[in-house]
């Protein structure tokens, strides 16, 4: 096969493979494709605006540079000349040098200006458009789960419920190592740092379930540190909020199961059958509540202190739930 044909065939293969890669990204399981998830909040909308501006500018630069490169390679190819033959030496092109210096400066200035316009609204509210008062939720990042504490004392694990079209403020902290709270459809990332409280604001524009994950590598079970925000109609949220407070206060809620599924099952399995961690079934420690509390608060050889700082409500709910494993086999 002539070398020219081989080169053209190789170029077509490269283009085809690039097309397949881009198609795979665009048609991936996430329906967002090349775009960010959502956006389903005013804050995420502003983030998406910045994203698309950067995609447009960098995409145009890529096409321009790579297109020029291909044209130059074809236009000024060897054409049978000796490899030792040098081309004409050109020195000094002041006008051209000023142009290719000024254009990037202008592009960067435009990007910075656009970001500065959008940035204030990414972590603020247009309260006039909110359907009701602000809800504040404490978000605790822990190895390897999210703990949510509401103003009325309700505790949730991994799943946060909020009213749609209401302003929500998150007070984000960590009890052990650095984590990063991230629900792409609703907001950007914000670190959860031990000893420090960061604040994040957003408002879900619609009802639905929005999924996210810890955005900071935090240990061996980091991939399982998922987070979910469920936005409910205002009436449904208020009904759940009030009834859940009463149920947790009386000890009749599913807080114990929720805590076990979100905190313990990651390592020990949903039935306590073991996995990364040991089999819990029939373990004599379940007859020693004080020993369980010490283990949860201080951790073990490989087990992090998953229950450090828990209040009595959450601790007692878990202790009541795990009694079922004391006689299992």
CATH of residue 175: 2.60.40.420
| Residue 263 confidence (pLDDT) | 94
Judgement on whether residues 227 and 146 belong to the same structural domain of the protein: yes
| Residue 27 confidence (pLDDT) | 55
Domain boundary among 243, 268, 301: 243
pLDDT, tens digit, for every residue of 58-112? 999 999 999 999 998 888 777 777 777 777 777 778 888 899 899 999 999 999 9
Judgement on whether residues 143 and 183 belong to the same structural domain of the protein: yes
CA distance 151 to 157: 15
Judgement on whether residues 109 and 146 belong to the same structural domain of the protein: no
Of 249, 71, 222, 46, the closest CA to residue 144 belongs to: 222
| Residue 73 confidence (pLDDT) | 85
| Residue 276 confidence (pLDDT) | 84
Judgement on whether residues 227 and 263 belong to the same structural domain of the protein: no
Residues of the chain with pLDDT under 70: 1-11, 13-14, 16-17, 19-34, 127-131, 327-329
**C-alpha distances in Å from residue 267, one per residue of 40, 117, 176, 290, 293:** 33, 45, 18, 21, 18
Residue 230 covered by a domain: yes
Judgement on whether residues 223 and 264 belong to the same structural domain of the protein: no
Domain boundary among 243, 272, 301: 243
Domain boundary among 243, 274, 305: 243
Judgement on whether residues 225 and 259 belong to the same structural domain of the protein: no
Residue 76 token pair: 């000024």
Judgement on whether residues 162 and 221 belong to the same structural domain of the protein: yes
Judgement on whether residues 230 and 292 belong to the same structural domain of the protein: no
| Count: domains in the chain | 3
12 C-beta neighbours (distance < 10 Å), count: 10
Judgement on whether residues 177 and 222 belong to the same structural domain of the protein: yes
Q: Could you tell me which residues are beta bridge partners of residue 168? A: 135, 202
| Residue 84 confidence (pLDDT) | 78
Print the domain residue range for 290. Answer: 255-325
CA distance 16 to 13: 5
Judgement on whether residues 239 and 265 belong to the same structural domain of the protein: no
| Residue 58 confidence (pLDDT) | 93
């Amino acid at each position: 096969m002539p070398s020219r044909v081989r080169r053209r065939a190789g170029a077509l293969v490269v283009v085809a493979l690039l097309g397949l890669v881009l198609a795979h990204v665009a048609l991936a399981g996430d329906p967002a494709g090349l775009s960010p998830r959502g956006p389903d909040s005013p804050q995420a909308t502003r983030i998406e605006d910045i994203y698309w501006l950067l995609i447009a500018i960098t995409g145009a630069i890529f096409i321009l540079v790579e297109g020029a490169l291909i044209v130059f390679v074809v236009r000024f190819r060897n054409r049978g000349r000796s490899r030792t033959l040098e081309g004409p030496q050109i020195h000094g092109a002041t006008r051209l040098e000023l142009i290719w210096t000024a254009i990037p400066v202008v592009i960067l200035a435009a990007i910075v200006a656009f970001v500065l316009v959008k940035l204030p609204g990414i972590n603020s509210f247009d309260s006039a458009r909110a359907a009701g008062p602000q809800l504040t939720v404490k978000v605790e990042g822990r190895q390897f789960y999210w703990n949510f504490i509401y103003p009325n004392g309700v505790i949730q694990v991994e799943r946060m419920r909020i009213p749609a079209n209401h302003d929500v403020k998150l007070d984000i902290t960590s009890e052990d190592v650095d984590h990063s709270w991230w629900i792409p459809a609703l907001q950007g990332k914000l670190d959860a740092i031990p000893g420090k409280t960061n604040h994040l604001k957003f408002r879900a524009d619609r009802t639905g379930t929005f999924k996210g994950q810890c955005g900071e590598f935090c240990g061996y079970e980091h991939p399982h540190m998922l987070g979910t925000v469920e936005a409910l109609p205002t009436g449904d949220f208020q009904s759940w909020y009030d009834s859940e407070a009463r149920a947790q206060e009386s000890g009749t809620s599913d807080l114990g199961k929720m805590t076990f599924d979100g905190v313990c099952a990651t390592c020990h399995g949903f039935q306590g059958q073991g996995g990364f961690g040991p089999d819990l079934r029939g373990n004599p420690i379940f007859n020693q509540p004080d020993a369980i509390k010490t283990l949860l608060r201080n951790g073990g050889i490989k087990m992090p202190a998953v229950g450090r700082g828990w209040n009595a409500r959450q601790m007692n709910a878990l202790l009541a739930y795990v009694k079922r494993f004391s006689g299992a086999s």
